[in-house]
Structure 1
Amino acid sequence: MHGALESGRLELPPEVMGQLMPMFLWLDRHGGIRCLGPTMAKVIGEDVIGTRFETHFKLGRAWSRREVGAGEVGATQGRRLHLSLLRHPDISLRGRAVEIGPNGREGVLLNLTFGIHIADAVRIFGLTEADFAPSDLAIELLYLREAKAAVLGELKALTGRLEEARRSAMSQALTDPLTGLANRRAFDLALDKAIAGLAHGGGAFALAHLDLDHFKAVNDTLGHAAGDHVLGCAAQILREETRGGDVVARVGGDEFVLLLRGALQSERLKALGARIIARLEAPIAVEGAVCRISGSIGIAVSSDYESHDAEAMLADADAALYESKRNGRGRCMLVRDLRPDAEVSQAG
């Protein structure tokens, strides 16, 4: 390889070979390294001239250690090579070997490139595009891998954004925009689920219907902005007086329904109703004015019903609510405590 063209024979100096094949190795007949390309020098070191090939590489199925050790390098003529680095066993290389000179007297020329671990090699050895031959498809594969990773990352991010948008849309579809409580649709879904659960051993629950007293006067005298503020205050009270497993929904202008789980004794339900009403009756300041409202509550308990009927419970809770209003407002009444002649459809 000295840069001459004689009798149809081309000889190239090592620096030209390095430009064409940055990862070439020139071995003598006994497996000693005579010359190497600039990229290969980055991989195994620049001071390896004279060292044995097998001190840097582990041979795959193309060569055996016996062949190299015995100096039979010429036997690799035209074979596909599969190698790995001894210092980095996880990094594989592949390529071909050709004999140099008559009967391989000048040794063997190996033209190598990285296998599937090219990304690791680029990272470990600090390689760039300039370290690969223009015809080497390995760098193209690396670009494809990076492009795939970028696309997959973007698709994952897009999927995340779409899922977040779906959750947001679902949340908005099930949320009252003014108070942030559940809306009628969300409550109906929760009630249907609770009713279905009763048939499969699920826990009993109470259904409370709350209507704000004197709310119309707030809207009429102070305007709808004041009314919206009062509704927000009422919603906050209901959040604070209920538990995490309960469902609180605004289902009308000043109407709220509550699905209450556990602790369904009459005394505890009445105590909860009394606390809510007491807090609702506290003065609410709105733009220099003071609003005063109250609340009337009717409560039905699922364990009081022989058949599981959401409409019957809603109707009875509504009837108990209006019984509270007829008895002076600012009261909490349970369906189970109503007079026999009250207009309810209690069963059992």
Structure 2
Amino acid sequence: MLPEEILHLICPMHLLLEPSGHIRQAGPTLHKISPDPLEGARFLEVFEVFRPRAVTCMKQLLQTEGRKIRLRLRGGVRTQLYGVLVANGQGGAVVNLSFGIHVMSAVRDYALTSSDFAPTDLAVEMLYLVEAKSAAMDASRNLNTRLQGAMVAAEERAFTDTLTGLRNRRALDAVLERFKRGREPFALMHIDLDFFKQVNDTLGHAAGDLVLRHVARIMTDVIRKDDTAVRVGGDEFLIVFGGLMRSERLGEIAADLIDRIEEPVSYDGRECRVSASIGIATASSGIDNPDELLEQADMALYASKRAGRAQFRFFGEAPAEGGPAQMAGK
């Protein structure tokens, strides 16, 4: 029989059994996973052999010599073990065990390290490969997350007006296409700033940019979460209101926008004053051609411009006697 220290090194999960079935010696890894002392205990009281099923005594255990047996500890974590028994010619036996395919759960459950396995055990290399694969998978997931974030950010930039932070024309086309496919009711509000050119010509483009950002913030404050505010270009804006909305409510929003836009903005110690003309068009039961509704909102906008500016009009609304149909309190 090999000396104890050699057995501990090359077979850290071995057991030396007396003819009586008692454990005379156990490898260090088995001591680590067993909740109870092993030396002196009966093998079949510490371990449950469930394949072959008929092993209930030392005699039957010795009859499994050279065959793979499956067993588990009766106490503690009941990790499945694999083993092979070799008789020692003196009525006793040597049993060498391993975790087999359950090595990963054993490492986790018992906090095992490479020193708990034989130097030639392929389980150690498998653990390194699993760790390397896990690290590679983590790196891949992190990379995919970053790429996805970059794609989302790029898409967001592609649909955003860089000056105001509102949606741009590309985003508007996508929103209108969605309403077209869903045959959903919606309303358009076309907004054009009055007297904006004078601000640009008098105070410069920096002042004009300040006004545009100010107007964008007003629109963001006024609209609902699911509505879309768009800078079409220059000093023109569109708001898309999803769902059915009463004309009275749309008129209230338009009037509020005009009032707030007319509040002066300070730039370099000077006041920037603009107003807004607004045209409104609605599609109560969806629309096949969104461009048609855009044209209607555009026509209503220019009706407001012709009527004196700083007011709103609905498409198809007859002008009131002596002036526009809606004066927004002007």
Q: TM-score if structure 1 supplies the norm length?
A: 0.86
Whether the 8 Å CA contact 1:27–1:34 is kept in 2: the answer is yes
What secondary structure does 1:180 align onto? coil
Pairing 1:74–2:54 present: no
What is the match of residue 12 of structure 2?
A: 22
What is the match of residue 75 of structure 2?
A: 87
Pairing 1:36–2:17 present: no
Whether the 8 Å CA contact 2:82–2:97 is kept in 1: the answer is yes
Partners of 1:15 and 1:237 in 2: how far apart? 82
Shift of the 304–339 alpha-carbon distance from structure 1 to 2, 3 Å rule, reads farther
Shift of the 267–187 alpha-carbon distance from structure 1 to 2, 3 Å rule, reads same
Shift of the 269–46 alpha-carbon distance from structure 1 to 2, 3 Å rule, reads closer
Residues 118-138 of structure 1: per-residue CA shift (max 9 Å, x gap): 233233333221111011112
Alpha-carbon offset, residue 323 of structure 1: 1.5
Shift of the 97–39 alpha-carbon distance from structure 1 to 2, 3 Å rule, reads same
Match of 1:152 among 126, 134, 137: 137
Shift of the 60–148 alpha-carbon distance from structure 1 to 2, 3 Å rule, reads farther
What is the match of residue 103 of structure 2?
A: 118
Shift of the 38–268 alpha-carbon distance from structure 1 to 2, 3 Å rule, reads closer
What is the match of residue 213 of structure 2?
A: 232
Question: Structure 1, unaligned stretches of length 5 or more?
Answer: 2-11, 341-348
Give the alignment of 1:277-316 within 5 angstroms.
277-303=258-284, 308-316=288-296
Match of 2:308 among 328, 332, 343: 328
Pairing 1:127–2:112 present: yes
Residues 73-109 of structure 1: per-residue CA shift (max 9 Å, x gap): 32121111222222245412113211112xxx24111
What is the match of residue 223 of structure 1?
A: 204
Alpha-carbon offset, residue 231 of structure 1: 0.7
Partners of 1:328 and 1:90 in 2: how far apart? 87
Partners of 1:241 and 1:119 in 2: how far apart? 58
Give the alignment of 1:97-116 within 5 angstroms.
97-101=85-89, 105-116=90-101
What secondary structure does 2:218 align onto? helix
Higher RCO (CA < 8 A, seq sep 6+): 2
Whether the 8 Å CA contact 2:34–2:76 is kept in 1: the answer is no
What is the match of residue 8 of structure 1?
A: none
Whether the 8 Å CA contact 1:29–1:73 is kept in 2: the answer is no
Give, as a single letter, the amino acid of the residue that structure 2 aligns with 1:80: K
What secondary structure does 2:226 align onto? coil
Whether the 8 Å CA contact 2:281–2:315 is kept in 1: the answer is yes
Give, as a single letter, the amino acid of the residue that structure 2 aligns with 1:27: L
State the superposition RMSD in angstroms: 2.1
Match of 1:180 among 147, 165, 172: 165
Pairing 1:190–2:175 present: yes
Whether the 8 Å CA contact 2:188–2:238 is kept in 1: the answer is yes
Whether the 8 Å CA contact 2:244–2:284 is kept in 1: the answer is no
Partners of 1:271 and 1:38 in 2: how far apart? 82
Pairing 1:264–2:245 present: yes
Alpha-carbon offset, residue 224 of structure 1: 1.7
Partners of 1:22 and 1:30 in 2: how far apart? 23
What is the match of residue 84 of structure 2?
A: 96
Whether the 8 Å CA contact 2:77–2:109 is kept in 1: the answer is no
Residues 189-229 of structure 1: per-residue CA shift (max 9 Å, x gap): 1112112222xxx3x21111101111112222222222111
Bigger drift between 273-282 and 215-224 goes to 215-224
Residues 237-292 of structure 1: per-residue CA shift (max 9 Å, x gap): 01111111211100101110111134533322222111100000001112322110
Whether the 8 Å CA contact 1:93–1:112 is kept in 2: the answer is yes
Alpha-carbon offset, residue 147 of structure 1: 2.3
Alpha-carbon offset, residue 37 of structure 1: 1.4
Give, as a single letter, the amino acid of the residue that structure 1 aligns with 2:130: R
Question: Structure 2, unaligned stretches of length 5 or more?
Answer: 321-330
Alpha-carbon offset, residue 300 of structure 1: 0.8
What secondary structure does 1:97 align onto? strand
Give, as a single letter, the amino acid of the residue that structure 2 aligns with 1:25: L
What is the match of residue 255 of structure 1?
A: 236
Partners of 1:301 and 1:289 in 2: how far apart? 39
Pairing 1:137–2:117 present: no
Partners of 1:270 and 1:263 in 2: how far apart? 14
Pairing 1:54–2:44 present: yes
Residues 170-207 of structure 1: per-residue CA shift (max 9 Å, x gap): 11111111111111011111112112222xxx3x2111
Identity across matched positions, percent: 43
Alpha-carbon offset, residue 35 of structure 1: 1.0
Whether the 8 Å CA contact 1:23–1:111 is kept in 2: the answer is yes
Partners of 2:32 and 2:246 in 1: how far apart? 80
